[in-house]
Amino acid sequence: MRLTWLGHSSIKIETGNKTIYIDPYAGPEEWYTTASIILISRFDYDHCNMTRIKKATGDDTHILGTQEVAGQLYPCGVLHPGESKKYDEVEIVGMPVKNPHKEGDSIGFAVLSEKKTIYYMAGTDYLPQTLDMKPDILLIAVGGTQTAGPKEAAKNAEMISPKLAIPIHWGSRTGTRDDAEVFKELAKIPVKILTPGETIEI
């Protein structure tokens, strides 16, 4: 499995013959190819860029998001917190979001494939139901303003206790590399700071 941070909150996951994009917004258009699955956490321009969604959408692409996202995009299915959808060997689970920093309809995602779990928090604060999750990869916002800042994010990440945390939601619209570095320094778990376009093997 390969994971690429495209910048801001945008993620590309390649697993088996599947390509998955989460919140397609950041990065040049040439980084986007036809996807198997597109996941959109909220209907905001910095989480769902229409040009990049169109570039990544093919005849067999499945798009999932909140009720609000589905009302603005067609075709798009609705994924509710706690709901699971399977696409061959890939399972997508909707995760609840509690974000006191920003109002609106949001959802997080757990991507399960190759006996691994990637948890995309989508700006949520720590939720007790994630206590036993122990994901392999935690994608956690650290940029502040509309999400937790690095200190709060570090506490949340420690409670979730992933094998590896990757700070996102920094470096463009909000947050800086310093926020990612502070998060890494404070979090008592393994942390990997990626640069836009950088890929890691999971």
State pLDDT tens for residues 89-133.
Answer: 999 999 998 765 555 688 999 999 999 999 999 866 667 766 678
Burial-class residue 98 by CB neighbours within 10 Å (0-12, 13-18, 19+). Answer: exposed
Residue 78 lies in a domain: yes
Domain ranges, residue 77: 2-190
Residue 197 lies in a domain: no
pLDDT bucket at 7, cuts 50 / 70 / 90: very high
pLDDT for 18-51, tens place per residue? 999 999 999 999 999 999 999 999 887 778 999 9
Q: Enter the pTM of the model.
A: 0.92
CATH number at residue 113: 3.60.15.10
pLDDT for 52-94, tens place per residue? 999 999 999 999 999 999 999 888 999 999 999 999 999 999 9
Residues 6+ away with beta carbon under 8 Å from 99: 106, 122, 123, 124, 125, 146, 147
**What pLDDT is stored for residue 149 in this prediction?**
82
* Position 189 pLDDT exceeds 70: yes
Residue 144 lies in a domain: yes
**What pLDDT is stored for residue 131 in this prediction?**
65
**What pLDDT is stored for residue 188 in this prediction?**
92
Residue 180 lies in a domain: yes
> CB–CB of 136/166 below 8 Å?
no
Burial-class residue 44 by CB neighbours within 10 Å (0-12, 13-18, 19+). Answer: middle
159: left (phi over 0), alpha (psi -120 to 50) or beta: alpha
pLDDT for 142-186, tens place per residue? 977 766 788 999 999 999 999 999 999 888 777 789 999 999 999
Instruction: Please state the domain count of the chain.
Output: 1
Residue 72 lies in a domain: yes
Residue 196 lies in a domain: no
* Helix pair 150-160, 177-186: axis angle to 10 deg: 40
Residue 184 lies in a domain: yes
Q: The tokens 């940029």 sit on which residue? A: 143
What CA–CA distances, in Å, run from 49 to 16, 45, 97?
26, 6, 21
Residue 201 lies in a domain: no
